Amino acid sequence: MPLKIERISQQLDRMARMIADSAPAREGFLGQAQDCLRSVNADALRQKLEWQRTQQIRIPWLVAVPRGDLSRSVPAPSPPADFCVVGSDASSIPLDRHSSVRYYVLNVGYAILCYGQKPDAVLEASSRLCFQDQDLYVFPQKWDVPIEGTLLGARMEVESLRISQQAMQQISRPTIALRDGPLILWTLQNESKEVKQALLRDLFEAMDALRQMGVPLAGYISYTGSRDVANSLRVWLCQGRPDECERCESSDYDLCQALATIHDRDLFIFLAQGERSELFGSSSQILEQYGRHRVDFFYMNVGEEIVRVEVPQWVGADADLLGLLHAAIYDQCRRSPAVPPYPPALQEAHEQAVITTTERRLVEGMVEQALGRHGQRVFRSAKDHSKRRRGV
Amino acid sequence: MSQNRLGVVVDGAFNAGLTVRLDSRITTEQLRIGNFVVVEGQQNRYFSLISDIHLKATDPRLLADPPRDPSPFIAQALAGTSTYATVEVRPMLMLEKADESDVDALFEERGGPEPVRTIPMHFAELREATELDFSTVFGQEGGANFAMGTPLAMDIPICLRLDRFVERSNGVFGQSGTGKSFLARLLISGVIKTKIAVNLIFDMHDEYSFDKQTEDGHWVKGLRQIFGSQVLIYALDEAMGRRRGRNVDVTLKIGLNQIEEADIVLLSQELNLRQTAEATIGLLRDAFRQQWLLKLLQMTPEELGEFCKGSGAHPASMASLQRNLKRLQRQDYVVDEATFSALDDMVEALDRGKHVILQFGRYNSVLDYVLVSNLVTRRVRQRYEEKTRRYEETKEVADKPRPLMITIEEAHKFLNPAVARQTTFGTIAREMRKYNVTLLVIDQRPSGIDPEVMSQLGTRVSGKLTEERDIEAVLTGVSNRSALRGALTSLNTRQQILIMGHAVPMPIVMRTRQYDERFYQAMGARVETSQDAQTDILDLFGDP
Amino acid sequence: MSIGEIIETTSTAFVAESFELNSPPPLGSLVVVQVSSETGTSTGLDLYAVVIYGQTVGLDPSRRAVRRSTDKVFDAAIYDQHPQLEHTLRTEFGAALVGFVADSVVRQHLPSQPPPLHYSVHTASVEQVRRFTNSLHYLRLLLVPHGEVPPPQVLAANVREVYQQRGVDRLWLDAAAREIATLLQSDHQALLTVLYSIDPGKVSPSTVRGGQI
Ligand SMILES: Nc1ncnc2c1ncn2[C@@H]1O[C@H](COP(=O)(O)OP(=O)(O)OP(=O)(O)O)[C@@H](O)[C@H]1O
Ligand SMILES: [Mg+2]
């Protein structure tokens, strides 16, 4: 056993002590930060952010653009008598770079849970073996940009939305669509414009369809690490340029520095159960590509947790859709037996989407067999062999 | 599986008998100790008796901790499975099995059941005996086969072989009220009817001749009323003869000259005799021969003293003997001098096929009964002895004496170990049918009878006995005693008997035949009144 | 009526997933698996089995069921409020093989082959129950422990079920009780356990219907 557990445990102790020691200070700053949140003039902040944007001043952080009063809290309306929640999730068996065959498997799981007069549920998965050029490359004609890593991740997100959207077509009741994870596919940020467009095309298609069906869509992000609002507060406090902290002489310097360690989920703990915050715009670059589907977000107390919910602006702009979404999410969380709660529709979608290790092995074997039947051998890299057989 | 199946053999030994596990639907209460049952072996059919019944459990814990208030349902489920019963079965006779298709032919060929010589294997079936089984073993009614009764649970006759019965002395035992006298009447009737022997009955309580009221309160007929003039009535009591419808054919007198030393010795208890009496009587006999008793009773004190001087007899003993024996003289039926002609006539009547009942009437004390029975029997036996001798010489069929059966109640008075060697009855019992005379001894205390006599009894019929000593006595010299002991104690107090011995192929428990109107008719009695019987007698003998 | 599908099978017993959540066939009841044809038989086989346990668990063995009731929502209402439960839970039942009918002859011993996996399990019709239980030898096959329910309980449950299905056949019940008494003769505690639990109590003779054993 190379891991020296006893060393770690000694360090662990030091760490715990350190956290405990700094707790009072953190509490203090959190209080100040919340006071700040309450005192911010939203219009002024918005203007400041807008001004900075137009001045092309590089803000090194993602910031939130408040659509209204920052400390506003909106209680959840009650959901309609009959409604459905469609959750979707996806997982994959990624391309195996140690294998001579190139393929990956996409598994989209979705759950349609209908409540009210005639409760019903559909738990399904759609699995696909992807091996053709159009699956393997963003630009199949040129065999260019293989779909791997982040691109595969983005592909999964898009696919899950597309498939669940198709599955919910027969539903006549008010419905909301929930995705596990962000709608802002910021991982694509560093890809070329063409790549982004190619990947987002399908996403927007699905979102268009949902919009037409009047189904509000949301990305549900549990235990979010985002600091967009905290960062906006730093901008608010900043007297100079946010990218020149080293020169800062403000009396709020300490608070500003503390804000850098504060998560939005801590700032919004004032939300009562079921309440959501004001909508915020995101400064994420990728959103420049989103056009009519630009995504805003809000925070929400679902009980024991402040989660981040991302919604397209066409949802945020429609009080009915937003109300339905808000009510349904809160209702979902109340139905959850877990603590903190987690929407059952997402839970079941996840269960449908997961691919177990056994299943992974099974698919691998099946691929080898199928190829074998056609006289093809699968070659494996030596490294892969060594990973599989760990002899001593 | 046969209809009346009871169970299967699961264990056994030739010497110990068979153990049969009862089928679950059979309850032990359906069975009785002594029941006649049949074990179907592969080659033989075993006619057997149930000698014991055991309760068993497959799990001993069940016995230690029986279910508390089990419902009938549970009791029924346990019965015969977890709890079950076994019966001990004694094979008595066996019969080789016939090819079922040809029963009759094989039946004759094989000539009936034989004593057991083997036992059947495991799982041989035990079943209730059927009518056919009974008749296979005990024969059909008719001829010398006399129906004595029926199985406890069936209505078919069980027969006794009367020809074999009269070949030996027999005994009828049982507690008081178990039906001994009725049984004797049945047996005697059978003997009369079949003419297999003639009877001499010492009727101490006047119950054999005429109507008698049963314990149930109704009246049953006497032998005279059934058989009319075939039965002669002798009486000691003259008064008897004067009663309407109760004719006495002969009034018997006993002469002092007929009384012998042995008679007196037999009565020493009743007469309060001293130990010296026997010696004194010896002296008297030497001096006066047959007249000794008469002489003694007539002696004056002086004569008595003189006799003592002359013979060396002890005067006090003499005086006491004279005093005690005076009692005899006081009985009305005792006369100073009598001839044997009356008794000899009686023997002649017996020889002609008549049956004699001697009624004691008022003289029914033990003294009278013992004295007269012994005296009469002695004479009868003497005469039979003579006849037999003559027959042995002439070998003429006409000279052959008819077998005679002498019935005595309270048999222990004559046959107890102290006197059995000296009484005529003891002699008859021991010498068996040498002279064609046998006894039918009736007694409620068989333990009082000399074991040697008991062991000579050919057939024993017994009602219920409870005293261990009596049971032992009845079973003297019988095999399979344990099985029979159980049967004896489990009999009903009335009209149930166990018969074993010479006249039956195997011991059997039965319900005694009802002594009633149907029986009289079966015995050939006309439906008649005692008035008719009397006329009958008048026709024969003229007015007495 | 088809009520489930075999998801585990051995020579002595099988496990089936019930088509209906929370209602496996009654403990002790007879179920039938129709196997199309085996060599030597012309009409195929009907395998008979006695239900030896039932259970409802999470479909995914790694997902345990959690408490879902609240002040207002409990019992059946939970299933209305959480419609996905119908899909994430499953009810399964085990059944011990007790014989088969081949060429319309009832055999009360184990079949030569286990029932095929994924075949349907049917409830036995009243007629099938009657025919199969005319002989009681199959009861001894229930003495072998299979699952968590102890054999005496399975035995008792079976007798109660069949007794009812045979139309309160008292003669049959008495015969079965005697058969069980014979089978459990060396363990009277177990025996009494069974007898107490199949005791029909006082039944007036008019309600006792006859039946041939
Ligand atoms: N075979 C029979 N037929 C009709 N009644 C009978 C029979 N056997 C016995 N009884 C009844 O039983 C009663 C007693 O019978 P019985 O007088 O023969 O008894 P026992 O044994 O001679 O008694 P004890 O020793 O007192 O002389 C009879 O009065 C009669 O009612
Ligand atoms: Mg008497």
Q: Nearest Cβ partner of A114 from C67, C83, C87?
A: C83
In angstroms, the separation between the Cα of residue C3 and the nearest Cα of chain A is: 21
C interface with B, Cβ–Cβ below 8 Å: 174, 177-178, 180-182, 184-189, 191-192, 195-196, 199-201
pLDDT the model gives residue A239: 78
Beta strands in B266-354 (DSSP E): 334-335
B447 beta partners: none
In this structure, are B350 and B317 located in the same domain?
A: no
Tokens of A365: 């074997």
Copy the structure tokens of residue A263.
């998560």
Rounded distance between C-alpha atoms, residue B492 and residue B464, angstroms: 6
Q: Residue B92 corresponds to which tokens in the numbers above? A: 């008595």
Instruction: For residue range B425-444, list pLDDT tens digits in order.
Output: 888 888 766 788 999 999 99
* Whole-angstrom distance, CA of residue A377 vs CA of residue A100: 9
Residues A300 and A372 in one domain: no
Predicted pLDDT at B544? 39
ipTM above 0.95, yes or no: no
- Residue B380 backbone phi and psi in degrees, to 5: -60, -40
**Domain final position from B310, B329, B348:** B329
Average pLDDT of the segment spanning A205-218: 94
Question: What's the rounded mean pLDDT across residues C65-72?
Answer: 87
Q: Indicate if B113 and B181 belong to the same structural domain.
A: no
Nearest ligand to the CA atom of B408: 2
How many Å lie between the centroid of ligand 1 and the Cα of residue A186?
Answer: 123
pLDDT in tens, A128-138: 999 888 888 88
* Residue whose CA is at the smallest distance from ligand 1 atom 24: B176
- Residue B1 confidence (pLDDT): 54
Q: Which ligand is nearest to the CA of B510?
A: 1
From C29, C25, C46, select the one nearest C37 (Cα to Cα): C46
| Other Cβ atoms within 10 Å of A24 Cβ, number | 9
Instruction: Specify the DSSP class assigned to residue B225.
Output: H
CA A308 from centre of chain: 8
**Could C196 and B81 be called an inter-chain contact, meaning their C-beta atoms sit closer than 8 Å?**
no
Supply the CATH number for residue B196's domain.
3.40.50.300
Q: What is the pLDDT of residue A13?
A: 85
* A348 vs C67, C80, C88: nearest CB: C88
Query: Nearest-CA neighbor of B126 among B240, B8, B292?
Result: B8
The pLDDT assigned to A382 comes to 63
From chain B, the residues in CB contact with C184 under 8 A are 82
Q: Are A311 and A112 in contact (CB under 8 A)?
A: no
Distance B182 CA to ligand 1 centre (A): 5
Distance CA(B153)–CA(B135), nearest Å, equals 15
Does C64 contact A at CB distance below 8 Å?
A: no
Residue C25 distance to chain B (closest CA, Å): 28
Partners of C180 on chain B (C-beta within 8 Å) are 77
Is residue B229 within 8 Å of residue B199, measured between CB atoms?
A: no
Helix (H) / strand (E) element for A65: namely strand A64-66
Question: Which of C60, C79, C84 lies nearest to residue A344, judging by beta carbons?
Answer: C84
- Residue B539: pLDDT band with limits 50, 70, 90: very low
**Closest C-alpha to A351, from A161, A86, A115, A110:** A110
How far is the first Cα of chain C from the last one, in angstroms, to the nearest whole number? 27
A316-366 per-position pLDDT tens digit: 999 999 999 999 999 999 999 888 999 999 999 999 999 988 888 888 888
Closest CB to A337: pick one of C60, C67, C87: C67
Q: What is the mean pLDDT of residues B369-377?
A: 90
User: What is the residue type of A106?
Assistant: L
> How much is the pLDDT for C98?
96
pLDDT value at B542 more than 60: no
Residue type, B275: Q
**Tally of domains within chain B:** 3
| Nearest-CB residue to C83 (from A119, A337, A351) | A119
Residue B210 has pLDDT above 80, yes or no: yes
Task: Write out chain C residues lying below 8 Å of B65, CB-based.
Answer: 188
Instruction: Indicate yes or no: CB of C185 within 8 angstroms of CB of B82.
Output: yes
Chain segment A219-248, per-residue pLDDT in tens = 999 988 899 999 888 888 887 777 777 777
User: Which residues lie at CB < 5 A from ion ligand 2?
Assistant: B 180-181
Distance (Å, rounded) from C-alpha B150 to C-alpha B148? 7
Measure the CA–CA gap between A31 and B367, rounded to whole angstroms. Answer: 138
Domain annotation covers residue A152:
yes
Do B429 and B456 meet the contact criterion of CB atoms below 8 Å apart? yes
Report pLDDT digits (tens) over A128-184.
999 888 888 888 888 888 888 888 888 898 999 999 899 888 888 999 999 999 999
Residues in chain B: 544
What's the pLDDT score for residue A148? Answer: 84
Do B426 and B536 have their domain in common? Answer: yes
**C-beta of residue B7 within 8 angstroms of C-beta of residue B126:** yes
Asked if B419 and B516 sit in the same domain, the reply is yes
Chain B residues within an 8 Å CB radius of C188: 59, 61-62, 65, 82
Contact A111 C68 (CB under 8 A): no
> Residue C206's pLDDT is what?
39
Looking at chain C, the whole-number percentage of residues with pLDDT higher than 70 is 91
pLDDT digits (tens, 9 = 90+) for B513-528: 999 888 998 888 765 5
Give chain A's domain count: 2
**Closest residue CA from atom 10 of ligand 1:** B179
Q: What is the pLDDT of residue C41?
A: 53
Which DSSP string corresponds to B250-296? EE--EEGGG--HHHHHHTTTTTT--TTHHHHHHHHHHHHGGGHHHHH
Whether the CB-CB separation of A218 and A181 falls below 8 Å is answered with: no
Higher-pLDDT residue of C60 and B53 is B53
Q: How far apart are CA B320 and CA C172, in angstroms?
A: 87
* pLDDT band for position B461 (cuts 50, 70, 90): very high
State the residue for tokens 């006849």. B387
- Average pLDDT taken over every residue of chain A: 88
Residue ending a domain, among B329, B359, B379, is: B329
Residue with tokens 């989407």: A353
Nearest to A250 by CA among A240, A260, A235: A240
Query: Does A52 score more than 80 pLDDT?
Result: yes
Averaged pLDDT, B475-492 = 84
Are B232 and B272 in a shared domain? Answer: no
Calculated CA dihedral for residues A44, A46, A52, A55, nearest 10 degrees: -100
Residues lining ligand 1, CB < 6 A? B 174, 176-182, 214-216, 444, 494-495, 512-515
Tell me the chain C residues in contact with residue A337 when contact means C-beta distances shorter than 8 Å: 66-68
pLDDT band at C20 (very low <50, low <70, confident <90, very high): very high
Looking at the CA of residue B174, tell me the nearest atom of ligand 1. Answer: 21
The conformational region for residue C178 under phi > 0 = left, psi -120 to 50 = alpha, else beta, is alpha
Computed from CA positions of residues C24, C30, C36, C37, in that sequence, does the dihedral angle turn out positive or negative? Answer: positive
Classify residue A47: in a domain, yes or no. Answer: no
Helical segments of B43-198, H only: 60-64, 72-78, 103-110, 131-138, 162-165, 180-194
- Check whether B106 has a pLDDT greater than 80: no
Kindly give the residue spans of alpha helices, DSSP state H, lying in A115-181. 133-136, 149-167
Residues A195 and A273 reside in one and the same domain: yes
Q: Where are the alpha helices (DSSP H) in B365-423?
A: 366-394, 412-415
Tokens of B6: 């009871």
Atom of ligand 1 nearest to the CA of B513: 1
Which pLDDT value is given to residue A295?
95
Residue B474 CA to ligand 2 centre (angstroms): 18
Closest to A155 measured CA to CA, from A112, A99, A208, A107: A107
Residues 6+ apart with CB under 8 A from A345: A85, A86, A87, A111, A112, A113, A178, A332, C84
Alpha-carbon Rg for chain C in angstroms: 19
Rounded to whole angstroms, the Cα distance separating B172 from B411 reads 10
Determine the pLDDT at residue C204. Answer: 42
Output the pLDDT for position B79. 79
Is residue A323 one of the residues assigned to a domain? yes
Backbone phi and psi for residue C98, each to the nearest 5 degrees, phi listed first: -125, 0
Q: Average model confidence (pLDDT) for chain C? A: 88
Phi, psi of C31, deg, nearest 5: -125, 160
Q: Give the gap in angstroms from C-alpha C63 to the nearest C-alpha of chain A.
A: 10
| Same domain membership, residue B442 and residue B319 | no
Instruction: Considering only the beta carbons, identify the residue of C60, C68, C79 that sits closest to A337.
Output: C68
pLDDT for B400 beyond 60: yes
Tokens, residue B490: 């489990």
Give contacts of C182 with chain B, Cβ < 8 Å: 81
Q: Which of A275, A216, A221 is nearest to A86 (CA)?
A: A216
CB A185 within 8 A of CB A276: no
Spatial CA neighbour of A347 closest among A337, A356, A360: A337
In angstroms, the separation between the Cα of residue C51 and the nearest Cα of chain A is 30
> Over 90: is that where the pLDDT of A100 sits?
no
- Would the CB atoms of B76 and C174 count as touching at under 8 Å? yes
- Residues A66-80 have a mean pLDDT of 93
Question: Which chain C residue shows the shortest CA-CA distance from A346?
Answer: C84
Longest dimension (CA), chain C: 61
Six token digits for residue B147 = 């129906």
To the nearest 10°, the Cα dihedral for B58, B61, B62, B67? -160
Q: What is the pLDDT of residues B334-368, one digit of tens each?
A: 888 888 888 899 999 998 899 999 998 888 888 89
Interchain contact B/C (3 or more Cβ pairs less than 8 Å): yes
Contact B73 C177 (CB under 8 A): yes
Q: Does the structure show a pLDDT above 60 at C209?
A: no
The whole-number average pLDDT for the span C126-132 is 95
Measured by CA distance, the residue closest to atom 27 of ligand 1 is: B176
Residues A306 and A373 in one domain: no
Amino acid letter for position A16: A
C62 inside 8 A of chain A by CB: no
Among partner residues C185, C189, C195, which is closest to B74 by beta-carbon distance?
C195
Within a domain: B76: yes
* Confidence band of B248 (pLDDT split at 50, 70, 90): confident
Q: Of A257, A260, A258, A240, whose CA–CA distance to A249 is shortest?
A: A240
Strands (E) across A116-222 are located at: 120-130, 137-139, 144-146, 175-180, 217-221
Q: Do chains A and B touch (3 or more CB pairs under 8 A)?
A: no
* Same domain as A383, residue A346: no
User: Which ligand 1 atom is nearest residue B205's CA?
Assistant: 27
- B354 and B207, same domain (yes or no): yes
The two tokens of residue A300 are 């929400």
Sign for the pseudo-dihedral over CA of B7, B8, B10, B15 = positive
For A336, name the nearest residue in chain C, comparing CA atoms only. Answer: C68
**Token pair of B307, please?**
């006799």
Which residues of C are less than 8 Å from B81 in CB distance?
178, 181-182, 185
Query: Which of B150, B182, B474 to mutate for ligand 1's pocket (most ligand atoms within 8 Å of CB)?
Result: B182
- What is the average pLDDT score of chain B? 86
Residue C82 touches chain A, beta carbons under 8 Å:
yes
Residue B41: both structure tokens together: 């072996």
Find the closest chain A residue to C58 by CA distance.
A351
Within-domain flag for A147: yes
Domain of A89?
A: 73-230+257-355
Ligand with minimal distance to B179 CA = 1
**What separation in Å is there between the alpha carbon of C12 and the centre of ligand 2?**
75
| C81 pLDDT above the threshold of 80 | yes
Reported as type and span, the H/E element at residue B359 is: strand B355-359
CA distance B350 to B387: 12
Residue B483 located in a structural domain: no
For residue A320 the two structure tokens come to: 């009915």
Which partners does chain B have (≥3 C-beta pairs < 8 Å)?
C
- Taking contacts as CB-CB distances below 8 angstroms, the residues of chain C near B84 are none
Q: B288 is in which domain, residue-wise?
A: 257-329
Kindly state whether residues B229 and B123 are assigned to the same domain.
no
One domain for residues B534 and B473: yes
In this structure, the answer to whether residues B369 and B261 fall within a common structural domain is no
Contact of C77 with chain A, judged by CB distance below 8 Å, is answered with no
Q: Which residues of C touch B63 (CB under 8 A)?
A: none
User: How confident is the model at residue C210, as a pLDDT?
Assistant: 38
List phi, psi (to 5°) of B273: -75, 150
CB neighbours of residue B235 within 10 Å: 26
Chain centroid to Cα A115, Å, comes to 26
* DSSP 3-state of B379: helix
Cα–Cα dist B33/B20, whole Å: 14
Q: Mark whether B348 and B220 lie in a shared domain.
A: yes
Last residue of a domain, one of B270, B305, B329: B329
Instruction: Please choose, from the candidates B518, B397, B526, B514, the residue with its C-alpha nearest in 3D space to the C-alpha of residue B148.
Output: B514
Subunit contact B58:C201, Cβ cutoff 8 A: no
Strands, E, within B366-488: which ranges?
404-408, 437-443, 459-462
Neighbours of C, requiring at least 3 CB pairs below 8 Å, are A, B
Q: Is residue B482 part of a domain?
A: no
The structure tokens 């208030």 sit at: B69
Q: Do A305 and A381 reside in the same domain of the chain? A: no
Residues B437 and B412 in one domain: yes
**CATH number of the domain within which A180 lies:** 3.30.420
